[in-house]
Amino acid sequence: MKAVVFDAHAILKFSQDEDGADKVEEYLIASQQGSLKAYMSEINLGEVYYKTIRSRGLELAKYYLEQFLELPIEVISPSSEIIMTASEIKAEYAISYADCFSVATALKFSSSIITGDPEFKKIEDLIPIEWL
């Protein structure tokens, strides 16, 4: 079964109904139907949460978090293995530490990353990217 990891960028696009939201919705439907396995690092979920607090306020961020947890996405708490892999990626690539957790999670589950964040162009040689 195909597996994907959602980056924070993808979920933010979806929650704000911006360009790319329709593609995210297609992945979510496929996950709901069982033809796709969807993951997200808990670190990246935290990234979505704090960015939503900044842009929309705490109460709306809490509401969005409750709604997110209903989506067919398995939230992965980073294991020591994922943390060390993310750290190794950060040491080699000029991307944010949070983004390194998306990459490390994708490597762990042999999956691609769903994103529209141009920062991921720096790691295209490491992991497949499905661009929004």
Residue corresponding to tokens 């990459």:
103
Cβ(131)–Cβ(113) under 8 Å?
no
Give all strands (DSSP E) within the chain, no chain letters: 2-6, 36-41, 74-76, 112-115, 129-131
Q: According to the model, what pLDDT value does residue 77 have?
A: 98
Dist CA 73 CA 15 (whole Å): 14
Label the pairing between strands 36-41 and 2-6.
parallel
Domain boundaries, the chain: 2-131
**Which of 3.40.50.300, 3.40.50.1010, 2.30.42.10, 3.20.20.110 is the CATH number of 2-131?**
3.40.50.1010
Cβ(106)–Cβ(112) under 8 Å?
yes
pLDDT in tens, 31-59: 999 999 999 999 999 999 999 999 999 99
Quick one: angle between helices 8-15 and 42-56, nearest 10? 40
> Which residues, listed in sequence order, are joined to residue 2 by a DSSP beta bridge?
36
Task: Spell out, as residue ranges, where the chain has pLDDT lower than 70.
Answer: none
Q: According to the model, what pLDDT value does residue 126 have?
A: 96
Q: According to the model, what pLDDT value does residue 108 have?
A: 98
Q: According to the model, what pLDDT value does residue 73 have?
A: 97
Mean pLDDT, the chain, as a whole number?
Answer: 97
Q: Which pTM was predicted?
A: 0.93
